Amino acid sequence: MANYAWHAHSCKTIAISHMGVTRVTMQSYAMGSSRSMWILLCTLLAAIGLFFSSIAMNSTYAQIEVTTDKNISSPIFNRTVSEDAEPRPDILYSVLHSDTIVGEVLNNFTYPIELVRITASVYDKNGLIVATGEYNANDYQIKPGSRSGFHVFLDEKLPSSSKYTLPTSFEKSKDDKPAALLLSVDTNSKGPESYKVLGEVINQGADDANSVKVSGIFYDKDHKVVDVDYTYTKPDIISPNKKAPFELSFYTDNSKKIKSVAIHAQSDENDNQNITKSAP
C-alpha cells in the first residue's frame, strides 16, 4: 500500500509537473505567436505607409470640397502642392487684350521641344478665377533659344488690368527639323484696323513638305508683343523645289503700334530661319 501510495503520489506529481510544463509551453507559444503577429502587423503598416508616401511624392493631386448653397466671397485653394518642380519654357512677355492673351514663349532648354501648351487662368480683384483658356504655341517645334508666339482665347471680355497665370507644358522632340524651307516676305502693310503680310515659302528639301505653317509675332517699338498670328501656305503641301504663297492677315486695334514682325515657317518635316521685317 505504501509503495502504491508513493507510486500514485509520484504519478500525480509527475502529471502535475507534466501539465505545468504543457501549460508553460502553450503560454510561451501564445506569447511568441502574439509577438510575431504584432511584428508582422507593424511591418505591413510600415510598408503601406511607404507605398502611399511614394505615391504622394511622385504625383500631383488636389481636392477641395465646396458647399454649393453658399456664395463664394474669397478664393478657396487646396493645400496640396506638387513636388514635381520640372523646368518649363519661359513666357517672355504676354498681354491681355479683352478676351485674348497674346505673348511669346522661349525654349530655354538645350534640345528642341514641341506641343508647347499654354493654359491661362484669369482672376478678378478679389482673387477669384473668372476665366480660363488654353492653346498651343503657334509653331510645331521650338528650337533651343528660339521663340514662338501664342494666343489664348477666353470665353469673355475682361479688363486689361486683370491678373492671370500662364503655366506651360511641353514634350521633348525626338527629331530636330532640318532647315529645308526658304521664306520670303514680299508685302508688309497695315491699315487703320488691320495688318497684312504676303510672301512665299520654297521647299529646298528632297521630299514633300506637308502642312506648311507660317507664323508671325508682331512687336512694338520696345519689342513687346502686340499681336500674333499664323496661317498655312496655299497649298499647304509643297513639292521639292516648288513654292507656295501665304498671307498673314488679321484685324487689330493696335496696327499703329506694330513696328516689326518676326516670320517663321515650318512643316511636319522641315524648318526655316526666322525673318524679321520692319513695319511700314
In a structure prediction context, what are the per-residue pLDDT tens digits for the chain, which is 280 residues long? Answer: 444 444 444 434 333 344 444 444 444 444 555 666 666 666 666 655 554 444 444 433 344 444 344 444 444 444 443 344 567 888 889 999 889 999 999 999 999 999 999 999 999 888 889 999 999 999 999 999 999 999 999 988 888 888 999 999 999 998 878 888 999 888 778 888 888 889 999 999 999 999 999 999 999 999 999 999 999 999 999 999 999 999 998 887 778 888 888 999 999 887 765 655 566 6
Q: Residue 244: what pLDDT?
A: 95
Q: Residue 231: what pLDDT?
A: 95
Element spanning 29, H or E: helix 2-58
Q: Residue 172: what pLDDT?
A: 92
Q: Residue 280: what pLDDT?
A: 66
Same domain, 26 and 112: no
Do you find a cis peptide bond into 240, omega within 30 degrees of 0?
A: no
Total domains present in the chain? 3
Q: Residue 35: what pLDDT?
A: 64
Q: Could you tell me which residues come within 8 angstroms of residue 240 by beta carbon, excluding any fewer than 6 positions away?
A: 203, 204, 205, 206, 207, 208
- Does some domain include residue 77? no
- Does some domain include residue 94? yes
From 60, 77, 107, the end of a domain falls on 60
Q: Residue 250: what pLDDT?
A: 81
CA distance 161 to 225: 16
Q: Which range marks the domain in which residue 242 is found?
A: 181-278
Same domain, 155 and 194: no
From 154, 172, 190, the end of a domain falls on 172
Q: Residue 68: what pLDDT?
A: 42
Residue 223 dihedral angles phi and psi, to the nearest 5°? 60, 35
Q: Residue 203: what pLDDT?
A: 93
